[in-house]
């Protein structure tokens, strides 16, 4: 599907299926709604899948990998060579996200959507990294749309293979800079509020990062009413790819788990393109990045976990997978009040 076709297919989840899932939870022999968000998420998935018979046996993490030209401005502690090295480690279970996927019985699908050199990772490369947005747009609008459509394509492939639960992740040196730039524009907040130290910047490095973002926004004048314009002018290919996964997941009736700060920025961009897409997302954790809570509030999401994580790659999203498995197991296998011969709880006003 291209972007236009995808947007036409996104519809609200099935309310009747959600009501049936609530009824089933209420029939289970436990105090009503005593599992809190674990119950809510299964109800949400019922609406997404259009049936109270919820299942997600196959789970996958899609990790978009790309480099960012703004690294030239000294906004990172390490060089771009790290992007390719970590991306290839996803293939050999030497990277954190891959190890977590193994433990969570999930598959990882790393995608080279814009790494600055050729790699062993599957290539859907738009270009060899974005341009330095302090000197002009990070990418063209056409490139931004192509990158979104890569994410849609990968979501389609996973759906065809039977995956009913996906998560987003990313790898790209400099991508907290691009994320902070997008967040500042879309939320109309000062760059200082949106920008953290990323992977360990010094105070001097943080000042350079903030200055670079300010210069990029001033030069390119991204239009906050046009999320694709913002993405193209100060974003990254990895973020655009994740936007496509969110939109593709919504069109295909698949729940997509948001990771941390960068994934949240992609989720907000997707929601600004199509507000209904937010119905097909959940937030896994509260990133340690300073703007994380502001982004979650803008998305209207409450995260499940608070672990002070800020690694990225999809790590926080994958940590949530076993919790979702446990919630579904209770939903599908626990006995009911009727089966146990216990008087059923009632909702009291």
d(CA 347, CA 9): 36
- Tell me if residue 313 is catalytic: yes
**Rounded Cα distance, 169 and 65, in Å:** 9
Give the SS3 label for residue 247: helix
Q: 133 burial class (0-12, 13-18, 19+ CB within 10 angstroms)?
A: buried
- 165-171, strands of its sheet edge to edge: 122-123, 107-114, 59-66, 165-171, 255-258, 281-283
Asked if 279 and 299 count as a contact pair (C-beta separation under 8 A), the reply is no
Handedness of CA 188, 191, 193, 197 (dihedral sign): positive
**Can you tell me whether residue 124 is helix, strand or coil?**
coil
**Per-residue b or e along 18-42, where b marks 16 or more CB atoms closer than 10 Å to that residue's CB:** bebbbebbbbbebeeeebeebbbbb
Q: In the structure encoding, which two tokens stand for residue 283, read together?
A: 């937030």
Question: Residue 66: how many CA atoms within 13 Å on its side-chain side?
Answer: 33
Q: What whole-number distance in Å separates Cα of residue 304 and Cα of residue 39? A: 12
Beta strands in the chain (DSSP E): 59-66, 107-114, 122-123, 165-171, 255-258, 281-283
Among the options 313, 338, 343, 346, which is catalytic? Answer: 313
Q: CA–CA separation, 273 vs 68, rounded Å?
A: 23
How far, in whole angstroms, is CA 35 from its chain's centroid?
Answer: 24
CA–chain centroid gap for 191, Å, is 22
Question: Annotated catalytic sites, by residue?
Answer: 313
């Amino acid at each position: 599907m291209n972007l236009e076709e995808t947007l036409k297919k996104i519809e609200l989840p099935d309310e009747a299926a959600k009501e049936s899932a609530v009824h089933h939870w209420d029939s289970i022999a436990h105090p009503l709604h005593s599992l809190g968000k674990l119950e809510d998420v299964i109800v949400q998935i019922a609406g997404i899948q259009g049936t109270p018979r919820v299942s997600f046996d196959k789970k996958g993490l899609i990790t978009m990998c790309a480099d960012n030209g703004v690294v030239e401005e000294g906004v990172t502690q390490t060089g771009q060579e790290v992007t390719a090295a970590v991306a290839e480690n996803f293939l050999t279970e030497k990277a954190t996200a891959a190890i977590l996927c193994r433990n969570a019985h999930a598959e990882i699908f790393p995608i080279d959507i814009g790494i600055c050199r050729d790699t062993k990772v599957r290539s859907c490369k738009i270009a060899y990294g974005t341009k330095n947005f302090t000197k002009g747009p990070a990418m063209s609008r056409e490139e931004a749309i192509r990158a979104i459509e890569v994410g849609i394509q990968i979501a389609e492939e996973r759906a065809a293979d039977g995956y009913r639960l996906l998560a987003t992740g990313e790898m790209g040196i400099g991508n907290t800079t691009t994320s902070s730039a997008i967040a500042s524009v879309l939320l109309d907040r000062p760059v200082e509020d949106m920008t953290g130290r990323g992977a360990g910047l010094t105070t001097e490095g943080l000042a350079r990062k903030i200055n670079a973002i300010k210069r990029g926004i001033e030069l390119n004048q991204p239009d906050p009413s046009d999320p694709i314009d913002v993405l193209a002018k100060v974003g990254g290919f990895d973020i655009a790819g994740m936007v496509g996964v969110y939109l593709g997941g919504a069109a295909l009736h698949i729940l997509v788990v948001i990771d941390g700060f960068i994934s949240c920025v992609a989720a907000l961009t997707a929601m600004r393109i199509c507000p209904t897409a937010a119905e097909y997302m959940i937030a896994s954790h509260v990133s340690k990045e300073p703007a994380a809570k502001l982004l979650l509030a803008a998305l209207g999401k409450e995260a499940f976990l608070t672990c002070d994580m800020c690694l990225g790659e999809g790590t926080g999203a994958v940590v949530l997978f076993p919790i979702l498995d446990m919630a579904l197991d209770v939903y599908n296998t626990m006995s009911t009040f009727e089966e146990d011969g216990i008087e059923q709880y009632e909702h009291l006003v």
